[in-house]
Every structure is written in C-alpha cells, then in structure tokens.
Structure 1
Amino acid sequence: MKTDFRFDNLLGTVYGSGNLAFTPDGTTLLSPVGNRVTVFDLVKDKSHTLPFTHRRPISHLALHPSGQLLLTIDQSGRAILSHLPRRLALYYFTFKSPVTALAFSPCGKYFAAATGRLIEIWHTPQTPASSADGGLAFAPFELHRRLSGHYDEITSVEWSGDSRFFLTASKDLHARVWSFDPVEGFVPTALAGHRQAVVGAWFSKDQESIWTISKDGALFQWEYSQRPDKEEEELQWRVFARHYFKQTPAYVSCAAFHPESNLLVTGFSTGIFMIHELPDFTELQTLSVSQTNVSQVIINSAGNWLALSSAKLSQLLVWDWQSESYILKQQSHHDSLNALAYTPDAQRIVTCADDGKIKLWDVRSGFCSVTFTEHSSGVTACEFAKRGNILFTASLDGSVRAWDLLRYRNFRTFTAPAKLGFSCLAVDPSGEVVAAGSHDTDTIHIWSVQTGQLLDQLAGHEGPISCLAFTPDGTSLISGSWDNTVRIWSIFARQQSSEPLTLQANVLSLAVRPDSKQIAVATLDGQLSFWSIAEGAQINVLDGRRDVSGGRKLGDRRTAANVADTKAFDTLAYSADGTCILAAGKSKYICLYECTSGVLLKKFTVSVNLALDGTQEFLSSRNLTDAGPVDILDDAGDASDLEDRIDRTLPGATRGDASVRRARPEIRVAGVQFAPSGRGFCAASTEGLLVYDLDVGQRFDPFELDVDVTPATTHAALASGDYLRALVMAFRLNEAPLLTTVYEAIPAPDIPLVVRGVPDIYLARLLRLVVKQTESSPHLEFCLRWLEALMTSWGRTIRQRKGEFAAEIRAVTRVVQSVERELRRLGEGNGYMVDYLLKQTSADATDGAENGSNDVNGLNEAMDEDGDDEGEWEGAD
C-alpha cells in the first residue's frame, strides 16, 4: 500500500478571523481559516486550501495588484509571502509587533503595514522570476519609511489611486493623510471630529474628497478647500457633509468603499448591512444576514459582489446586490466535530458535530451542499449503508435517524423505550438492521430499518457501550465497552450468542478488517491490539502511547514526553486492503501502522496552531505569571470599548452553551476514515475536516532523462510513430489536452504493443486515463480495446498489487458495468423498435394488399424486363 499521503484540502470551516480579499478579476475570494488560507473560485464553484501554515491564526492578508503575490500575517506578527497561483511560500518575515492593518499600493511596488500606533512602508519583495539572479533574496523585506502621529491603534490603511498618498484610521478618533514621499508644501494632516473610533477612511476616485466613518455610525465627507474664517488664502481639509446611519444601539463593525461606483457598504453589530450610494447618501439596500456581528465586508473590483463574514458563526457570504442573489453561502459547524463518513462513491463526506447539525461536503468542490438540523442535541456518530444513498446518525437527543440523500429528508426515526443519549452506531451491510449503544446503559439496541420497530436489546456488557461495528460480511456484531471487554454477537443465528474478549483497560474504539477476519481494538492504556474473529485469540499488540503523545497544554505541570501514560487512541480505521490501520485521538498526530509487523509507517501532524491547546512541545517560562499562563488569563476587562469589557460567559462552561466560550480549544482528532477509493483519507479535527491524498507526483521517473520533454517533442514522436515514447512524455507533462491527443492518435492494432511497454509507474495513471475516456469519449470500441489490452498484459500484476490499484480497479469495474447497462438498454430499445416496425409493416401490408396489388405486379414486371434492379428501384423512389 502507498503511504505517501499529503495534505490536499481543508473542509468543514470557511472563515476564522481576519480580513477577506478578492483577486483583481473579482471572481475568486481568499478567506483565512485559522492558520491557513482557503481560496474560493466563485465561477467554477471550487475551493482549495493553501498548503503552508502559520503558527497562529491569520489576522491580516493582502493580495498584490497583479494577483501573483499573497502576503499573510498572523496574530503574533509573523508574515509569509507566497506565490498564489503556484501555492508556494517564498519568504518568511517577522514584524516586531502585531500588525493591525495591511495594504499593497496600487502600483504594487510597496505595501503599508500598521504596527500599533506606527505605520511602516516596505518595498515589495521580488519573485524569483523577476529578480536579477533568478533566485531567492537573502533579505527581501526592505523598510522604506516609518511614520508616527497616532495616539492609539491604527484600524485601517487605504492608498490613493496614484500611490502618492495614503489614509490611516485609528481608535484615537482621528484619520490622517500621509504622503508616500515628502512632498513640497504638504504637511501630514489630521482629520478630527469623530466622537468614537474611526473604522475606515477612503479617497474618492478623483482624490478630491475623503470619506471617514466611525463606530457610532457617523459618516463625514471631507473636501480640500479654503477655510471660510481665514482672510488669507489657506487650503486645508474640512468637513463638507455629515451623514448618520441611526442604527442605535448597534455600532459599525466594518465598512468598505468602492471608488469607481461610489458604493459604501457598512456592516453592523446586529448582523445588518447597508448599501449606500455617495455622495448623496442614497440608501440602496438594507439586509440582515445574521443575529451577530458582521466581522468583515469587502467589494470586488467590478462593484457587483459583496463578501461578508461572521467570525462567531463561522459564516461566509457573497452577495450580488444588483440581482439580489447569493453567489456563495457557506457556514461551518459551530462546535467541534464528532464523526465523519465517506459516501460509497467517495465523492462526498458527511460530518456531524456537537451543534446538532449534519453537513454533507463535496470532496471536489470543497463546498457544503446539504445541512440537516433535525437533531436537537449533539450528533455523536454517523455511518452509511453499503448500498444506496442512506445515512444513519445517532445523537444525544435519544434518537437514531435515517436520511435519504436523494430526496434529502429524514424518512425514519428510531428511539429507545427509555430516554437515552446514543454515543455509537453500526449499520448492517444489507442496510436492514441498525444498532446503537449509549453511555447511559450497558445494553445494545437493535432496530429494523423497514418497520422502525425495536427488534432486540442485547445485554451482556457490565459497563457503558463505547463502540459498535458490523463485520463486512454481515455475520457478526462487534461491541466494545468500558467493562474492559469486546463481545462478538451472532445476532442473525437461530440462537444468539456472544463471545467476550477480555482486555486490560477500557475499550475506546474498534475497527473490523475488510475481510471480516480481524479486529483492532484501542484501549485507555494506549494499547492497540489485534484479534482473530474466528479463533477469538489475540494476534498482535503494540504500545502506542509514545506515538500518540505529543503536545503540551498550557496548564500541564509535566512535559509532553512525561504525559504519555495519559494518551490513547480514540478512533481507528483500516485501509481498503487491510494491511494498514490509521489511529488518532486527543493528540496532534495521526499514526499509520502496518498491521502485521506493528511498525509505525508515518505520523501526520494535524496542526501547529499555537492558539490550540496541545500543539506545543515546550512551554516558555516567560509566559508564566503568578496567576498562571498569560494566554489563559481573561483580559477582556482591560478593553477600551464597553461592549468588549462586558463578560457574558458562564462560569466553568466549555461547550454547548449559547454564550462566548472562555476555554481554549484543544487539538484532537475525533474520527478518521480511508476513502473507499483507497487513494486518500480524511480526519475530523478541531480545525476542521482535513483531507489527505496520495502524492503521486514525487516518484522517481528514469525514463528518457536526457531528452527534453516538451509538447513539441511529444507531437514529433507521435508523428514519427513512436507511440510509447509519446504517451510517456505526455504523462510526464501531465496536460489533459495533450494526453487526449496522444491517446486517440495511437492506432488500434498497436494498442497491445504500447500497453506492454508502458513502465509500471504509469500503469495507474493509464488506467485512470482510459476510464475517463471511456466515460466521455464516443469511441466505445476503441476504449474497450484499451481495457482489454491492459487486463491481458497487466492483469497478474494488478492482482498481486491489488491494494495499490484498488481505486483504479473499482473505476474500471464501474465504467464497464455502466457500458454494459447502456448497451443492454440500447439493445432492448432497438428490439422494441424493430418489433414495432415489423408489426406496423405487416399491418400496412395486410390493409393495402388489395389496393396496391396492381402497382406491385407492374413494378415486378418492369424489373424483370429491364434486368437492372438498381435502376428500377431508384426510378421508383
């Protein structure tokens, strides 16, 4: 089995904190999700997460006017300059203090960063392609100017269109006008008059006016003119007009201005946003998107799309204000994830969380397509039926529900005679029986899916039920409990029986191997044991405490290495071929083991975000005070705003309450599962749904290393008849149009020779290419010849390495069955049509036998006399 998995995408969360950014064309939105950045393509309906990470949540990001460079800064002032199209981190830099505002100049040569009360102008680092030597620079960040003048934290920075001036807004009730370089006769000007903190300040398109807005909803228009109380000719900025939003007691939380269309969008603390046209202050729209604070709002370059976000609800919206429709509407789970499940076709992932919601995420697009909210409490488990589009979920509200994912409805609800909160779930492979366990009782409840009736209550455990699983062959039900036993139930036999397997500690999780011959059990003491189902004997055991240990909480008195005895695995998952197993728990690591030898193959780090508990290996004594660590102290009482000083949290509450949670979130992995295709796996973690995929692009390819592989040489090889070489070069270039051209240009008689000569490292890619072409190409016989040649030449190799080619074999089986169904349907349709035409012909012949007998006889006589049948038929037609 391949183990070179790499991070592919982050689902389950769409917005964390910080500002948003549109690309220059206005069709792509960049959103910070914790310590990563997710890119939403609003035209193609796709999203992807950039692979690089910060050590803390991102607070500010800015995109270069060219759309190539992305500058992201986290809460501690650490900056990463990356190349957005290539998704590569170029430079790392650390500011001396946290950054409160960030903006590139329109010319792209500089960027302004506000650090507290100071404003710093930096030269934009050059990319390796544009630098003189074509490589990375040693010190790419070069400071141009540092300016001071504000008395409190700067909230925003905006440049003029010609990049000669810029505006800053601050909490000191002032906005200031600065020049990029010293200009003769220009003096930095302070725009005073607001009674609360200034949220934003912008230049008009002609730079003749300045707009400033404060937190209390006051909008001022400033004009550069002569003061009326001065006899001498003295020009300065003065207030030309005042406007008020009158949304008391709400306050302005964010605002954005579009100079080209004079649109002002304002977000308020009550979830309302307003659109006004300036300078007349004409109200265009007033809408409410939530009941909480609107964190950020921006406008794209065309001025027709607005992006709004809410940090408390983890919500992200893109609103087309002209057509009054949503372009994007996504929301994350409010609480931590509890479980996940792949759909049988591996195209979607279901997640459930403590907020009582069930979300269906599309793997390709990264968007949430469906949200179910029927559960009234936290959803603890979810599982798909092996056949059909049926999802089962268990919840702490005392119900197990069945969902139809074709009609998107809850068609069956299962309940117990007594009020219980179900914590685990298992579904029979036939999809006709569902079992659930609870932490409130030691019995297992079994229902019939067709009737919804309770069939049985299995008693035998002496402690709460922690995990359940049916064997894939459907013969047995496996249950684990806190009474240190695992039981194998034969519930479908005439005489129900259970075989107990005794362990040394409480059972936390179990998994059944796909061949139904082995189970893996994780216990509270950190042990991972493997048992034979047929013999009821232990096969192997390994100690995973050292592997799962790692990360130290802020309140821990011992180091991370010395708390290994408290670590254990909470979730397990077998690979498709049963040779490897994934294990994870309350740790920042996901461990991949080889089952037979017990060797740790690989460890995946879930997160390095220092805002989460359990991600640090060592704690700094500088952050320790007499009252405890600095990061866990409540400093809201020192805030300058009254709304921020009010403490609305419940004492001791950490989850499930409607107030703001005071506790720091802890890094953990609640569920892992391999994809049915075998080419990836996903993990439900504190940061969201992590998707990992096989990194097939890093394997060594020794084929024709001394030849320049280009599209031109590929076409030349194809024209000369060297089809194998052309195919391999097309695979190395990995361009879809070129691959299709080479594939279709190979003659049918040469297909077996080409297939036999293909290197084995390209076998999986060739299988996927043929499957894709069979699904979309009209040349059905040509594609089937390819499949026949592949199975004839490589069938034995594929069988021996079935775990490696499991996904490709499933795809081939699916496409062959699809072709068979289509041909059968086409044949049946043609048969019905032939029968119909024959019946119509016989009926017409019977009805017109008498009337047309003379014409037919005359035609036959003419054909016999002439002797030229073809000519007579043409003349007759």
Structure 2
Amino acid sequence: MKTDFKFSNLLGTVYCRGNLLFSPDGTHLFSPVGNRVTVFNLVDNKSYTLPFAHRKNVSRIGLTPQGNLLLSVDEDGQAILTSVPRRVVLYHFSFRASVTALSFSPSGRHFAVGLGRKIEVWHVPSTPDSNTEGDLEFAPFVRHHQHAQHFDDVRHIEWSSDSRFFLSASKDLTARIWSLNAEEGFTPTVLSGHRQGVVGAWFSKDQETIYTVSKDGAVFDWKYTSNPNDADEMQDEDEDMRWRIVNRHYFMQNSATLRCAAFHPESNLLVAGFSNGLFGLYEMPDFNMIHTLSISQNEIDFVTINKSGEWLAFGASKLGQLLVWEWQSESYILKQQGHFDSMNALEYAPDGQRIVTTADDGKIKVWDVESGFCIVTFTEHTSGVTACEFAKKGSVLFTASLDGSVRAWDLIRYRNFRTFTAAERLSFSCLAVDPSGEVVAAGSVDSFDIHIWSVQTGQLLDRLSGHEGPVSSLAFAPNGGLLVSGSWDRTARIWSIFDRTQTSEPLQLQSDILDIAFRPDSLQIAISTIDGQLSFWAVSEAEQVSGVDGRRDVSGGRKITDRRTAANVSGTKSFSTIRYSTDGSCLLAGGNSKYICLYSVTTMVLVKKFTVSVNLSLSGTQEFLNSRLLTEAGPAGLLDEQGEASDLEDRIDRSLPGSKRGDPSARRRMAEVRVNGVAFSPNGTAFCAASTEGLLIYSLDSTVQFDPFDLNMEITPASTLAVLQQEKDYLKALVMAFRLNEAGLIQRVFQAIPYTDIGLVVENFPTVYVSRLLRYVAAQTEQSPHVEFCLLWIKALVDKHGAWLSANRSKVDVELRVVARAVSKMRDEIRRLADENVYMVDYLLSQANEKQSPALLLTSDAAVLKALPSSDTKGLSMDDLMEDKAAESEGEWIGLE
C-alpha cells in the first residue's frame, strides 16, 4: 500500500474571519479559512485549498489586478506571496505589525497596507508575467513610503481608477485622501464629519465624488466645490475650493449597526451589511433602496462585489457562513455553511464520492469530495450527533445522537425514513450497522446494554447485557457474522447475535476501551485503550496476536492551560479513533493531539506521522509555551478582554451562564486541536480526518494538473507539424494538437504515430488531457477503418492510466461510456460478419488445394464484397478487388486505407 499521502483539500469550513476577494474575471472567490485560503470556483462549482499554511489565522488577503499573485497576511503580520496559477509560495515577508487593511492598486504596481494607525505603500514584486518595465527577475518587497497621520486603526483602503490617489477610512471618525507620488497642487486631505468610525470610503467612477460610510449608518457625499453660502460674495473661488459634504443619507436600521459596506463605481451600487444579519442594496447618488434581505442570524462581517457588479459575496464568521448573491435575479449562486461546533464523526459513502460529517450542533452534513461543497444538511436531531455509518449496499445512512434516537436517512431522496428509540431515555454514543443493512445496534454511556433494532420494522429486537460499564464502541464484522463491543469496564465482547443462543466472549484488556475497528477480511480486530495501547486480536481464537505502544507517537503539543510539559501530559497519550485501510495492511489512528499516526499491521511499526495543524491560534500545536504570555491572571490567550472593547456592542456579553455547547453567542478562543474521526476512502487513495479546523483530505494524487503549454504563445499548426515530422516527438506534437483543438490537425498527428510507440506516448501523456484523448479515440473507433490501431490506443490508455480513471470516475464517466459503446459496436459488427461468412470460409478452405476457374473466382470475390461492411467497400469496384486478389497471389498484401 502506498503511504505518500499529502494534504489536498479542506472541507467542512468555508469562512472564518477576514476579507473576501473575487478574482478579476469574477468567477472565483477567495476565502480565508483558519490559517489557509480556500478558492471557490463559482462557474464549475468546485473548490480547492491552497497548499500553504500560515502560523496563525489569516486576517487579510489581497489579489493583484491580473489575478496571478495572492498576498495573504496572518494576525501577526506575517505575509505569504503565492502564485495563483501554479499554487506555489514565492516569498515570505513580515510587516512586523497587525494588518488591518490591504489593497492593490489597479495598475498592479503598488499595494497599500494599514498597520494599525499607519499606512504603508509597497512596490509589488515583479514577475515575468506581470508586464512590468525593467528587470523581470523576482525582487523582494520594497517600501515606497508611509503615512502616520491617523489617530486610530485604519479599516479600509481604496484606490482611484488611475492609481494616482487612494482613500483611507479609520476608526478615528475620519477618511483621508493620499497621493501615490507627489502631485502638483495636491496636499493630503482630511474628510471629517462622521460621529462614529468610518467603515469605508470610495471614489465614484468619474472621481468627482467620494462616498464615506460610518458605523452609525450615515452615508456622506463629498464633492470638490466652493462654499455655496458664499456664492454671492466676490472672492477668489480657487482659494475656497475644497472637499465638502453635499448630501447626507442614513440607513435607519433601528438598533442595528453597520458592520461592512462595499461600493461598485461602474453601476453606482452601494451594499451594506448590518449586525442583525440584514443587508441592503442601494443606488447612488440618489440613495434609492433596491432591496433588503436577511441572510444570517448573526452580524455580517464582510461584503464584496465582483467586477461586473452582478454578484455579492457575504461572510458571517460566527456561524461560518459564506454566501454569493446575484441581486438582479435575486438568487443564490453559493450558499455554504460549516459546522458551528466541533465534528464528532465522519464516514465515506460506499462510492467514495461523498463524506458525511456529524457534530455537536445536531447537524449532519453531506460533502461532495470532487467539488468540496456541502450538498445537503439534515437538522432533525435535537442534540449533538455522535456517530454515523453507512449500510454497505444502497445509499442509506444511520446516525446516533444524544437526543436518544437513532435515525436512518435515504441519501437519494434526502429524507429521514426511520427513527429508532429505546424504552427509556438514553444518549447514544456509538453505532454499528450490519453489512446487509437489516440490523442496527447502538450503545450508550448511560446504560450498560446494547440495543438492537430491525431496520425494516423499526422495532427493538433485543438488548444485549453483559458489560459492567458504559459501552463506548461497536463494530460489525464486514462479513456480517459477529458484533464486537467495547466498554469502559476494560473488556471487549464478541457477540453472535444471529444465533439462537446469543453468547458473548469477553476479551480482557488493561484499560478502558475507546474505539474498535474490524479488518476488512473480518479475521482481526484492533482495539484502542485509554492508556495509549493498540492491541490486535484474532477473532477466531479470541486471543491477542500483537500490540503497539502508541503513547510516544501520539503525544505532542502543549495546551495553554497545561501545567506540565507536552511529554508528560496524560490527556494526549491515547487514540480516540482508529480505522483499517482498505486492504487491511495499515491502521490509521488519531486522538486529542495534533498528530495522526499510520501503522503497519504486519510489522507493527509507525509508517508515517501526519501533523494536523501548525496554527498557533489553536491550543495544543506548540511543544513549548512562551513564558512571556503567562500573566498573573493566567495565560494571556484565555483572558477575557470583551469588557475593554472600544465599541459598545462589542462590550455586551450575550452568552448564557454555564453554556458551553450549542450557544451561538458563546465566546470561543484558543480551541484545542484534536482529531475526532478518521476514515479511508473505499479505493484507498485518500483518507479524511475530522479536526478542529475542519475536514482535512489527504490523498495520493494531490499534484496540480498544470499544462505547461498554457503559457506558450508559439504553438501553431506549423510548429506542431514541425515537431511531428522533423523532431519525431510524437508526445509533444499530440499535446500541442490538443492545445490548439483543431480536428484536422489532431487526426493528422494521431494517425502519424507508429503503433509501436503508442504505449510510450500514452504513458507520459499529461493527465489533464487524458479524458479528451479517451473521447477522441472512442470517436475514431466508431468512424475509422483502423480497427486494431484504435484498440491498441484504448488498451494503452486503460493500462497506463487505469488508476487515475478509477479515481476520477465521476470526471470521465461520459468518456468511458463512449468507449464501451464503441467497443461493443465493433464487437457486434465483427460477430455479425463472422456469422455471415462462416460457410464461405469453410468453402474457400475446402477449395484451397484446387485450381479455381475465373468464374468461380469472380463468384467468390462477389460474395466477399457483399459480406464486407459498407464502410470498408466505399469507393471500391470489382476490378479493384481483382487487382488485390492478384497482388495477394504474388505474395503482396495491400491494406484498406
């Protein structure tokens, strides 16, 4: 089994905090998720996470106007410059202060950052595709100049369309106008008059008007004009010309305050998000309200508009919501929300295309692996959902909850079709489903019994007694014969529930059991205990065959409340979740630490160790704590500074006393890093882990499908034919032909490749073009007379790229169906031809040793001509066949071209 798993995607969380960005073409949305950045493709309905990770949560991101460079900054001011097309980190940089605002100029040559009350302007590092003058080599950051005239944090920076000026909005109740370079007759200007902090400031399209919006919902229109009250007096108007307020507008949202705003100069649209979850769309300068809509239960943290002004993106951090709204059609382009509380369990669907996650917020979410989006959310459970499992056949999901119910879900119609309950009120903590899908079992920490229900009738069939402590884990054998249960009474029991006498065989262990996993061949079970031991038992003999001490492997990471070092903390020295790989050769284990361990079952050694997170904003990711962060009142990260906030609504404490779970307004700081669930994909090429940050996907094929010919402007039909005929580089010529996408050129290159080189060309063929090549070969199989040539291509594609085709079955499903149809059609034609000619072949064989007369030869040739398919005889006469026959008699073979 291959173990070179690498991080490929982050699901389960769509937005945490910070600003959102649209790509220049408006089709991609960049969203900060913890210490990573996720990109949502709104046209193709896909998402991916950039491979880099910051040391703390991302606070601001910026994108160049060309869309090729992404600058992301974390809470400490540590910045990473990334190439978006290649998804490669180019440069690390530190601003040495917390960044509160970030904006690139429309020219792409400069960007401005707000560092507290300071503003700094920097040159954008030059790259070969940035169209900058001078040296095209990569250069680190160079500061242009800085300003420090504001008296409080800068919240927003906006550039003019010609990149000569920029606006800054601050919490000191003012907005200011700055110039990039020294302009003749221009001095930095202060726009004052708001009564609360200014949220945003923007230029109009003609740059004759400036709009400023403050937190109290006031919108001011500024124009460069003289004082209208002094119009009758004769004085020099040039001396009195300055920016003045010409109009005042107010949003009037009762007690709600304005949290964010965005302006689109081309269409004069102003969007405002409020603390009560409403947003309003207004047309400037008349301030006409187009519509308002409530999209969240909590405040909206950020709003942005794409370049065309059609789509609005909203982010709400408390519930982790991300919405893209098309205001003209009043419809959602994207509506995603992650789990509010930590995830408890996860499970792969049998087809490997979906992942189900359950959490303490009582929600069950189904995530599409290919797109990264949540496709359905179930909210019928009224308390935390603790376990989930699929039936082996069909699209049926079972979940157990603390509300005392076990529910069965139909994932085709997306409905709850069966609910199982016990005689008394119990909180179910574990679940197991028979492979046939007829029986479901659940265990509870409140009761020592195991409850078994019939899926068909929903009735309680039996209660298995025998454990002397709460049941913590259940697992059915993959062959359906046995049920294994683990308990806190330090025993595991093997139940034969389908026999007439339901006996159980206890397995004695040294500590409380946390989780149990069955090997796919049903011959072995793995048991994880609270003392950090992994023990492996043979099911048939009910005896232990091997064991692993995992305390040293899983321990790591010191929480900020720990009084002991990371090596001596007992809470992180056990595996709370374990799973076998698909082939049963490896065991994946995770627990309340930042590590996921992969063990070899045969050799009992640690094969690989995966670090879940390096985010210092989480507790438990550091091996050593910084003593400077320890105050007299305790760790600095846990101090409640809410009462010292500068804004009134931030000082109000709306949390419920003693509430730690399910309270939407609960304060959560420094969440502990942990892994609550792991699972292997059915094909064994990936595994997922439910962690504090979200749903992490690790896969073997995480390489980006990057086509090097995308950046080459010298690809022409002439250069393609030169590569084909002169250089004899068939692979390069075929890729260039597919890049140009001209049917005649592709056919010419395809037919010019020798059949002996087909395997070599296909083996090195880029996977990004495999689906197109497969479809083309299938079409050629149906049309071309070169039957064997096309079959060799199909065989080589399946042999060389079979693993990729099976892993991406959803992508190439159409192409595979076309190939299957072409091959079956060819098989049917050959079979029909053989059936029609079987008697003619027998006759010709019997006449092989006799001299044929011209009449007999003519008759046989006519019969052969009649038996051949119409596609093979097009344009052929009887004389042509006679010539071919004569050539054959002379030892020469002529094929049909």
CA contact (8 A) 1:436 1:445 kept: yes
Q: Which moved more, 1:689-698 or 1:95-104?
A: 689-698
CA contact (8 A) 1:158 1:202 kept: yes
CA pair 447-714 structure 1, distance change in 2 beyond 3 A? farther
State TM-score, norm by structure 1: 0.84
Unaligned runs of 5+ in 1: 700-708, 799-803, 831-869, 871-877
Q: Which moved more, 1:446-455 or 1:783-792?
A: 783-792
Please state whether the residue corresponding to 1:637 is helix, strand or coil: helix
2:465 corresponding residue in structure 1: 459
Task: After TM superposition, give the deviation of residue 557 of structure 1 in Å.
Answer: 1.5
1:864 corresponding residue in structure 2: none
Task: After TM superposition, give the deviation of residue 382 of structure 1 in Å.
Answer: 0.8
Q: Distance in 1 between matches of 2:379 and 2:718?
A: 56
CA pair 280-401 structure 1, distance change in 2 beyond 3 A? same
- What amino acid maps onto 1:27 in structure 2? T
CA contact (8 A) 1:572 1:672 kept: yes
Task: After TM superposition, give the deviation of residue 166 of structure 1 in Å.
Answer: 1.0
CA contact (8 A) 1:730 1:738 kept: no
CA pair 90-562 structure 1, distance change in 2 beyond 3 A? same
CA contact (8 A) 2:302 2:315 kept: yes
Task: After TM superposition, give the deviation of residue 793 of structure 1 in Å.
Answer: 9.2
2:73 corresponding residue in structure 1: 73
CA contact (8 A) 1:608 1:615 kept: yes
Q: Distance in 1 between matches of 2:195 and 2:266?
A: 29
CA pair 774-358 structure 1, distance change in 2 beyond 3 A? farther
CA pair 110-214 structure 1, distance change in 2 beyond 3 A? same
How many aligned residue pairs are there?
808
CA contact (8 A) 1:525 1:566 kept: no
Task: After TM superposition, give the deviation of residue 57 of structure 1 in Å.
Answer: 1.1
CA contact (8 A) 2:46 2:371 kept: yes
Q: Distance in 2 between matches of 1:225 and 1:578?
A: 78
2:223 corresponding residue in structure 1: 223
Instruction: Please show how residues 512-551 of structure 1 align to structure 2 within 5 Å.
Output: 512-551=518-557
Please state whether the residue corresponding to 1:100 is helix, strand or coil: strand
Q: CA RMSD of the aligned region, Å?
A: 3.9
Q: Distance in 2 between matches of 1:564 and 1:25?
A: 52
Task: After TM superposition, give the deviation of residue 658 of structure 1 in Å.
Answer: 3.7
Q: Distance in 1 between matches of 2:208 and 2:810?
A: 63
Q: Distance in 2 between matches of 1:596 and 1:729?
A: 47
| Cα deviation code 1:699-723 (max 9, x no counterpart) | 9xxxxxxxxx99999978877998x
- What amino acid maps onto 1:179 in structure 2? S
Task: After TM superposition, give the deviation of residue 478 of structure 1 in Å.
Answer: 1.2
1:160 corresponding residue in structure 2: 160
Task: After TM superposition, give the deviation of residue 653 of structure 1 in Å.
Answer: 3.6
| Cα deviation code 1:435-484 (max 9, x no counterpart) | 11111111111111111111111111111111111111111111111111
Q: Distance in 2 between matches of 1:254 and 1:576?
A: 48
Q: Distance in 2 between matches of 1:819 and 1:204?
A: 54
2:627 corresponding residue in structure 1: 621
CA contact (8 A) 1:770 1:786 kept: no
CA pair 476-822 structure 1, distance change in 2 beyond 3 A? farther
1:99 corresponding residue in structure 2: 99
**Residues 1:89 and 2:84 aligned together:** no
- What amino acid maps onto 1:74 in structure 2? D
Instruction: Please show how residues 583-602 of structure 1 align to structure 2 within 5 Å.
Output: 583-602=589-608
* % identical aligned pairs: 58
Instruction: Please show how residues 355-374 of structure 1 align to structure 2 within 5 Å.
Output: 355-374=361-380
Task: After TM superposition, give the deviation of residue 732 of structure 1 in Å.
Answer: 13
Q: Distance in 2 between matches of 1:349 and 1:570?
A: 20
**Residues 1:431 and 2:437 aligned together:** yes
| Cα deviation code 1:347-379 (max 9, x no counterpart) | 111111111111111111111111111111111
| Cα deviation code 1:68-117 (max 9, x no counterpart) | 11111111111111111111111111112101111011111111101111
CA contact (8 A) 2:474 2:486 kept: yes
Q: Distance in 2 between matches of 1:382 and 1:710?
A: 55
CA pair 465-597 structure 1, distance change in 2 beyond 3 A? same
CA pair 728-504 structure 1, distance change in 2 beyond 3 A? farther
Task: After TM superposition, give the deviation of residue 573 of structure 1 in Å.
Answer: 1.2
1:236 corresponding residue in structure 2: 242
Task: After TM superposition, give the deviation of residue 66 of structure 1 in Å.
Answer: 0.8
Task: After TM superposition, give the deviation of residue 608 of structure 1 in Å.
Answer: 1.0
CA contact (8 A) 1:767 1:808 kept: no
2:610 alignment partner, one of 583, 595, 604: 604
Please state whether the residue corresponding to 1:576 is helix, strand or coil: coil
Q: Distance in 1 between matches of 2:807 and 2:294?
A: 48
Q: Distance in 2 between matches of 1:792 and 1:228?
A: 80
Q: Distance in 2 between matches of 1:570 and 1:271?
A: 38
Please state whether the residue corresponding to 1:120 is helix, strand or coil: strand
Q: Distance in 1 between matches of 2:391 and 2:777?
A: 26
2:697 corresponding residue in structure 1: 691
CA contact (8 A) 1:255 1:297 kept: yes
Task: After TM superposition, give the deviation of residue 151 of structure 1 in Å.
Answer: 1.1
2:517 corresponding residue in structure 1: 511
- What amino acid maps onto 1:488 in structure 2? I
Q: Distance in 2 between matches of 1:281 and 1:379?
A: 47
2:850 corresponding residue in structure 1: none
2:683 alignment partner, one of 654, 677, 681: 677
Please state whether the residue corresponding to 2:99 is helix, strand or coil: coil
- What amino acid maps onto 2:203 in structure 1? F
Q: Distance in 1 between matches of 2:674 and 2:804?
A: 32
CA pair 506-70 structure 1, distance change in 2 beyond 3 A? same
Please state whether the residue corresponding to 2:637 is helix, strand or coil: helix
1:838 corresponding residue in structure 2: none
Task: After TM superposition, give the deviation of residue 695 of structure 1 in Å.
Answer: 3.8
CA pair 812-794 structure 1, distance change in 2 beyond 3 A? farther
2:282 alignment partner, one of 276, 280, 301: 276
1:857 corresponding residue in structure 2: none
1:643 corresponding residue in structure 2: 649
Q: Which moved more, 1:688-697 or 1:205-214?
A: 688-697
Task: After TM superposition, give the deviation of residue 4 of structure 1 in Å.
Answer: 0.9
| Cα deviation code 1:108-161 (max 9, x no counterpart) | 111110111111111111226669776544xx1111111121111111111111
- What amino acid maps onto 1:379 in structure 2? V
| Cα deviation code 1:790-828 (max 9, x no counterpart) | 799999xx9xxxxx999679999999998999899999x
Please state whether the residue corresponding to 1:649 is helix, strand or coil: coil
CA contact (8 A) 1:197 1:215 kept: yes
State TM-score, norm by structure 2: 0.83
Instruction: Please show how residues 826-841 of structure 1 align to structure 2 within 5 Å.
Output: none
1:145 corresponding residue in structure 2: 145
Instruction: Please show how residues 162-561 of structure 1 align to structure 2 within 5 Å.
Output: 162-228=162-228, 231-233=235-237, 234-561=240-567
CA contact (8 A) 1:352 1:379 kept: yes
**Residues 1:15 and 2:15 aligned together:** yes
CA pair 418-741 structure 1, distance change in 2 beyond 3 A? farther
CA contact (8 A) 1:336 1:354 kept: yes
CA contact (8 A) 1:272 1:290 kept: yes
CA contact (8 A) 1:726 1:742 kept: no
Task: After TM superposition, give the deviation of residue 657 of structure 1 in Å.
Answer: 2.5
CA contact (8 A) 2:738 2:746 kept: no
Please state whether the residue corresponding to 2:18 is helix, strand or coil: coil
CA pair 806-586 structure 1, distance change in 2 beyond 3 A? farther
CA pair 565-167 structure 1, distance change in 2 beyond 3 A? closer
Q: Distance in 2 between matches of 1:24 and 1:505?
A: 58
Task: After TM superposition, give the deviation of residue 784 of structure 1 in Å.
Answer: 10
CA pair 720-128 structure 1, distance change in 2 beyond 3 A? closer
CA contact (8 A) 2:556 2:594 kept: yes
Q: Distance in 1 between matches of 2:779 and 2:362?
A: 44
CA contact (8 A) 1:588 1:667 kept: yes
Q: Which moved more, 1:442-451 or 1:490-499?
A: 490-499
Instruction: Please show how residues 723-802 of structure 1 align to structure 2 within 5 Å.
Output: 726=730, 779=781, 785=791
CA contact (8 A) 1:395 1:423 kept: yes
Q: Which moved more, 1:122-131 or 1:488-497?
A: 122-131
